[in-house]
Amino acid sequence: MATAKQPMTTDTLQALTANRLIDGLVVYLTETGEWSTRVDDAALVPAETGEIVLAATGEQAVSTNHVVAPYLIDVETGGGEVNPTRFRERIRAFGPTVNTSV
Amino acid sequence: MYQYDTYDKTLVDQRARQYRDQAERRVEGDLTEDEFRPLRLMNGLYQELHSYMMRINIPYGTLSSAQLRKLAHVARTYDRGYGHFTTRQNIQFNWVTLEQSPDILAELAGVEMHAIQSSGNCIRNVTADAFAGAAADEIEDSRIWAEIIRQWSTLHPEFAFLPRKFKIAVTGSPNDRAAIRVHDIGVALHLNAEGETGFEVVVGGGQGRTPMIAKTIREFLPARHLLSYLEAILRVYNQFGRRDNKYKARIKILVHEIGAQPFAEAVEKEWEQIKDSALLLPEDEVARITSFFAPPQLEKLGPTAPAFDAKRLTDRAFAAWAKANVVAHKAPGYGIVTISLKAPERAPGDATHTQMDAIADLADHFSQGEIRVTHEQNLVLPHVKLTHLFGLWQALAHHELATANAGLATDIVSCPGLDFCSLASARSIPVAQRIGRQLSDIERLHDIGELRIKISGCVNACGHHHVGHIGILGVEKKGEEFYQITLGGDPGTDAAIGNIIGPAFAGDRVAGAVENLIDTYLAQRSTNAERFIDTYRRIGAQPFKENLYATA
Amino acid sequence: MPLLRNGHIALDQWVAVGDDEALPEDAPIIVSLARWRAERGSLVDEYRQIGIRLKGGDNAEEIANDLPYFDLVAIEFASIADGRGYSTARLLRDRYGYSGELRAVGHIIRDIFPFLHRCGFDAVEARNDRDAKAWRESVGAINVAYQPATDNRLPTTVLRHLPLAAAAE
């Protein structure tokens, strides 16, 4: 279990992400417990409680076969937008970065 | 090309139905993800970064026009309008859904295609020379043996859960265009002194995080024993290949750890037990499969084509394309045409549904309805009359398919990288595009000559960077993309693994680094005919290295 | 955990005995390779029916000479991904002539049953799945065999050239 030794900093927020079973698209858990394809809709929780609050929801969504392999990502909020911290997660959220459409 | 009989048809139809049932059971929750994953993988369905990806087999890279039209249809109907041709002569669609994946397989079964074993720890789609049946230098059409291997390996019950994936390649020409020495098993066709067909068998090559060149374990295997010998190799590997560490599970590690000679002895010992079993290839079955690869009915033409020569003299752009993209055919008056899927700003290997339809039509008009896929991620029209080249070129240009760069520096091989792949560490496609921009001058490109640049977005090396004359490997360092450069790799007859030249470059400096390497080559080459790889072999890495890091 | 034998749910009279467990009296027993090696003399004296349980890494060759003692060989599949047991099974049947019960144990789902069946297994411990009919049908879901294996199916390399094949075209 996470222990809150450090005082909470405003930027260490987390979101729960997964891929939706039926179409494989990247989804984020929202505050109403839905799964949205937009990272902006993600419910953000302090990193200290992320594991507890979100893991339970994720496991539930896996057990009902709605999503696959949920995990927590670090996000930053600036200018009213949600931005995953890791480069890979930014590409997952906003990519692909190359125009491959017809 | 091979045509399904009632058995082949039954198998793919039944397989499509079986998979539909499995996909439905997954959606209903009867199968967990852990249980379903190996099943979907064995039908080519991956979960990638943004979506499911489906990889469809194109056995030994041979397609009919009807099959290519079906792939265009799949791109249009089930994906976002395009597909990606891979370094293993397959095609993958990046945006499919689990829900529709059974429909795709059912559609494919209608044109004698499937995705069986295009992923998973099993024997993957067998690859061969993309110019087979057309190349002037070949001994025999390698696809006959590739098809025999395809059938034997398809749903082989003993080898469905190997320690790791397993790739077999076949060449029928002394000039290896199938990269057999970087495969788990490579099979090279030879004739013995009596004129009998047989194979040199090489084992334990591969790329990935531990690249190795395959070792010869048998100099000449009579053709009728092909399947028993392969079965013996696979059986030894299945029992003794490492399963404790997936990075050490490929057969190359087993061969390396026990030694090629003891490995060969283990195989021979096993083979002695099964060589005269039901695996012995029946002559009538070999004859049946051979009949499908009979040479096409081509016209008897003279070796010269005055109309073609005249056009080359008057149209520089056409001449440049013909020089780079057309090679000699075994039939006089014909050529083998490479259709470059490396147009500027395109993702290497991508083709849109309209391009696929157009190529299918052109194949019908100009090339006996046949198309090939190369491991360099291009398409090929294998049987084109020289006098038709100009018309073909014009038609290709209309669809952005006439880039005159086959084998040249902008004919870049690239995996999908971090833009699509969930395993990737860094992006590949934008790097390829940047290099393409840097080298956009076609005159200069032709002056540089043959130069194979290959980019992988992670150590798994799907972009074959280890065998690039210039190899580029994407790595992640502290959350940023860096690219390591290797020199001197070669997938062909003189197969070699490239050597790392020095510290990695940031993404925006890779194209400049490639430019720098090319400048060194141009300054150092002995004649204009000396290729980049030849110069490298002659002078070594040092001059390249000195210039590359001089200003760093 | 029902036992499926020859496609039907069967009563399992065999007792799987752990290496440290006391041996039951008067029952057919399944022991590990290690226990067999340690106690074979007394086991052969005391028991009329002996089964052996092989782990994925145990090779057929290791028990080839002992096969006359066994009425059952169980091969363990620690996960779906561990495919060593398929080779072990084929070697036991094809090379060493074993004809007793060959049982797959471990993580077995019906989707891999066709592979097991073609490699010579005639029994599986089927975990939670009691739908024997679905298991039986899974074997015939694909009834074309491109290659010879350890079942009675004729591979296409042979089938295609039998006189009857012409009629099937």
Selected for mutation to probe chain A from B99, B377, B418 (highest A CB count within 10 Å) is B418
Q: What was the pLDDT predicted at B449?
A: 97
Residue B132: phi and psi, rounded to 5, are -55, 140
Could you give the 3-state DSSP secondary structure of residue C108?
coil
CATH fold match for the domains B142-291 and B413-549: yes
Report whether the peptide linkage leading into residue B282 is cis, meaning its omega lies within 30 degrees of zero. Answer: no
CB A61, CB A70: distance < 8 Å: yes
- Is the preceding peptide bond at C114 cis, omega within 30 degrees of 0? no
Chain A contacts in chain B segment 7-36 (CB below 8 A): 26-29, 33
Nearest to B185 by CA among B142, B221, B151, B230: B230
Chain B: residue nearest A89 by CA? B49
CATH topology of domain B306-398: Sulfite Reductase Hemoprotein; domain 2 (3.90.480)
3-class DSSP string for C34-45: HHHHHHHHHHHH
Classified as helix, coil or strand, B404 is coil
CB-based contact A21 B352, cutoff 8 Å: no
Alpha-carbon distance of B262 to B481, in angstroms, equals: 42
Q: How far apart are CA B106 and CA B167, in angstroms?
A: 25
For chain A, percent of residues with pLDDT exceeding 90 = 58
Of A64, A65, A98, which has the smallest distance from its Cβ to B419's Cβ? A98
The token pair that represents B73 in the structure block: 């249809």
Q: What are the extents of the domains in chain B?
A: 6-109, 142-291, 306-398, 413-549
CB B91 within 8 A of CB B128: no
Asked if residue B375 lies in contact with residue B89, where contact means CB atoms within 8 angstroms, the answer is: yes
User: Are B239 and C148 inside 8 Å of each other by CB?
Assistant: no
- Segment A11-41, tens digit of pLDDT: 589 999 999 999 999 999 999 989 999 999 9
Q: Is the Cβ of B141 closer than 8 Å to some Cβ of chain A?
A: no
**Residues A76-88: tens digit of each pLDDT:** 998 889 999 999 9
Given a contact cutoff of 8 angstroms between Cβ atoms, the answer to whether A89 and A73 are in contact is yes
| Å between B327 CA and nearest CA of chain C | 36
Spatial separation of the C-alpha atoms in residues B503 and B519, rounded to whole Å: 19
d(CA B73, CA B7): 26
- Give the bridge partners for B476, in sequence order: B481
Please tell me the distance from the alpha carbon of residue B406 to that of residue B452, in angstroms, as a whole number.
10
Percent of chain B with pLDDT over 90: 99
Contacts of B354 in chain A (CB under 8 A): 102
Chain B residues with CB-CB distance to A95 below 8 A: 49-50, 418-419
CA distance B278 to chain C (A): 6
Q: Which chains touch B (3 or more CB pairs under 8 A)?
A: A, C
Domains observed in chain C: 3-142 (3.20.20.70)
Whether the CB-CB separation of B70 and B108 falls below 8 Å is answered with yes
Q: B48 in contact with A at a CB cutoff of 8 Å? A: yes
pLDDT in tens, chain B (552 residues): 999 999 999 999 999 999 999 999 999 999 999 999 999 999 999 999 999 999 999 999 999 999 999 999 999 999 999 999 999 999 999 999 999 999 999 999 999 999 999 999 999 999 999 999 999 999 999 999 999 999 999 999 999 999 999 999 999 999 999 999 999 999 999 999 999 999 999 999 999 999 999 999 999 999 999 999 999 999 999 999 999 999 999 999 999 999 999 999 999 999 999 999 999 999 999 999 999 999 999 999 998 899 999 999 999 999 999 999 999 999 999 999 999 999 999 999 999 999 999 999 999 999 999 999 999 999 999 999 999 999 999 999 999 999 999 999 999 999 999 999 999 999 999 999 999 999 999 999 999 999 999 999 999 999 999 999 999 999 999 889 999 999 999 999 999 999 999 999 999 999 999 999 999 999 999 999 999 999 999 999 999 999 999 965
Closest Cα in chain A to B432: A98
Query: Yes or no: is domain B6-109 CATH 3.90.480.20?
Result: yes
- CATH code, B142-291: 3.30.413.10
- Pair B137, B175: CB distance under 8 Å: yes
- CB proximity under 8 Å: C 108-137 to B: 109, 111-112, 114-119
Residue A7 has pLDDT above 50, yes or no: no
Q: Which residue has the tokens 């038609």?
A: B395
Sheet holding C50-54, edge to edge: C8-10, C3-5, C123-125, C101-106, C70-77, C50-54, C29-32, C15-16
Specify whether the CB–CB gap between B344 and B352 falls below 8 A.
no
B100 Cβ contact list (under 8 Å, min separation 6): B78
Residue A27 with chain B: CB contacts under 8 Å:
none
The position carrying tokens 């590409």 is A91
Residue with tokens 């036991």: C92
Q: Do chains B and C touch (3 or more CB pairs under 8 A)?
A: yes
Does the beta carbon of B155 lie under 8 angstroms from any beta carbon of chain C? yes
- Annotate B37-80 with DSSP letters as a single string: HHHHHTTTEEE-SSSEEEEE--GGGEEEHHHHHHHHHHHHHHSS
CA distance linking residue A71 with residue A69, whole number of Å: 7
Residue carrying structure tokens 């017809």: A102
Residue among B346, B505, B500, B520 nearest B448 (CA): B520
Give yes or no for a contact between A42 and A49, defined as CB atoms under 8 angstroms apart. Answer: no
**Chains adjacent to A (≥3 CB pairs closer than 8 angstroms):** B
Interchain CB contact of C159 with B (< 8 Å): yes
C-alpha separations of B315 from B319, B320, B328, B356, B390 in Å: 6, 9, 21, 27, 10
Q: How far, in whole angstroms, is CA B225 from its chain's centroid? A: 26
Amino acid at B290: T
Confidence band for A8, pLDDT divided at 50, 70 and 90: very low
Nearest to A34 by CA among A45, A20, A14, A13: A20
Sign of CA dihedral C98, C99, C101, C106: positive
Q: Where are the domains of chain A?
A: 13-94
Tens of pLDDT, residue by residue over B482-536, are 999 999 999 999 999 999 999 999 999 999 999 999 999 999 999 999 999 999 9
Q: Which of C91, C109, C138, C139 to mutate to test the interface with B (most CBs of B within 10 A)?
A: C109
CATH architecture of B413-549: 2-Layer Sandwich (3.30)
**Touch A-C: 3+ C-beta pairs under 8 A:** no
